[in-house]
Amino acid sequence: MAPCPGDGDWRSIAEQTSKETDPAKLMILVEKLCCALDGVRKEKSQLPAIPTGPAIPAGDEPRLFLGD
């Protein structure tokens, strides 16, 4: 598929697609929608990763004292 120009938000393209009855125009809109969604996916994959490690640095964990 050739690169698509950014001519609208994927939601508006999806809305247009849902209302289109002409098969030729529908194919064009579906291609635009796929391209727009690929762009969204690409943007999301470039976001910085969310740290998944412990919230408290190692060695600074609260200590439980039993039997005091």
Average pLDDT for 25-42: 93
Q: Decide: 49 and 19 in contact? Cβ < 8 Å.
A: no
* In a domain? residue 31: yes
* In a domain? residue 66: no
The residues, any chain, with a CB within 8 Å of residue 30's CB and separated by 6 or more, are 17
Model-wide pTM > 0.75: no
Q: What is the pLDDT of residue 46?
A: 80
* pLDDT reading at 60 higher than 50: yes
Confidence of residue 57 (pLDDT cuts 50, 70, 90): low
Q: What is the pLDDT of residue 1?
A: 45
Q: Which residue range forms the structural domain that includes residue 27?
A: 10-44
| Structural domain total, the chain | 1
* In a domain? residue 37: yes
* In a domain? residue 23: yes
